[in-house]
Chain A
């Protein structure tokens, strides 16, 4: 019992916005102290149950401890102080990640070309299978992988900090919606006519076909992190 004596306080501290590492450390210190106090009392001949009560009294009530820790704003994470940031920042992070990954593509193509020794330039007609495979991989990363990753990381961040559901869910929806607006185009080279071309952009097609594609991609990518986040959050509400 002593091992988990302050686990409920830890959950309260997380919900109040304290960072998980700070909560872990505080709970470890309190439990270590609690065990030492109980041992001290038992060695003096106090009955174990009474020793537990006495140790609790000496450490202070959970309410006092909670108030003591939360009196210091610097221990609270930005996600708890400004939860609306969860809805805005991940979208920006996604765009930066998309740009970085897309920018790395020419280097990756060049490396594939170098080792594969395909004819002419990698962007020229006659490109190898390895080159085309690489383009497909990049496409999947840009359209699905990165939005999933960023939304998933937001879910993990919010769940570990026991943030309220609203803002993280808005963040997941906004991030994945932005991801669904990203397009990736590959123009295949035509031998003797033109070179190939690869592009990525933020696009919005207001026609029905465009909306359908957007909606499908958005739903596909948003559902996984949102579902896992809600389940994680729900499980953390169940007492140990």
Chain B
């Protein structure tokens, strides 16, 4: 994957992360698996890069986290906050609008 492709995926990964965490609380590995299950190879990126994104979203109040001890190690679970829910709705609307417009450009015009 080239750098520009990677940036493109990073841009939409916030939307994907928010959508998946809106469904249920997850920790990093679970979330990476959920992304792979939902998007297959199309949304694949370095799974470790999820963590900077999760930390930023948490620092912005979009995600909330809680720590649970699992097998003697702390594991951090993330979930959407009320602010995150509003952001998800805004991003979803924007994405639908943009993808509709891009599809209109990409698809052949009739007559």
By the criterion of a CB under 8 Å from any partner CB, how many residues of chain B are at the interface? 18
Least CB distance from B58 to A in Å reads: 10
Provided the pairs A58-B47, A59-B48 are in contact, do residues A32 and B55 lie with their beta carbons within 8 angstroms? no
The answer to whether B20 has its CB under 8 Å from any CB of chain A is no
CB contacts (< 8 Å) of B46 on chain A: these are 58-61, 64-65, 68
Interface-lining segment among B70-78, B79-87, B91-99:
B70-78
Assembly CA distance A31 to B55 (angstroms): 16
Assembly CA distance A26 to B73 (angstroms): 13
Choose from B51, B59, B74 the contact partner of A30 (Cβ within 8 Å): B51
The answer to whether A37 has its CB under 8 Å from any CB of chain B is yes
Q: Which residue of B lies closest to A3 (CB)?
A: B73
Q: Which residue of A lies closest to B10 (CB)?
A: A68
The answer to whether B101 has its CB under 8 Å from any CB of chain A is no
Choose from A37, A72, A75 the contact partner of B29 (Cβ within 8 Å): A37
CB contacts (< 8 Å) of A22 on chain B: these are 55
Least CB distance from A216 to B in Å reads: 48
CB 8 Å contact bits of A195-218 with B (1 = contact, 0 = none):
000000000000000000000000
The answer to whether A118 has its CB under 8 Å from any CB of chain B is no
Assembly CA distance A117 to B68 (angstroms): 56
Would you call B52 and A72 a contact (CB within 8 A)? yes
Assembly CA distance A65 to B14 (angstroms): 17
Interchain residue pairs with CB less than 8 A apart (22): A22-B55, A26-B51, A28-B73, A32-B28, A33-B47, A36-B29, A37-B47, A58-B46, A58-B47, A59-B46, A59-B48, A60-B45, A60-B46, A64-B49, A68-B49, A68-B51, A69-B51, A69-B52, A72-B52, A72-B56, A74-B56, A74-B59
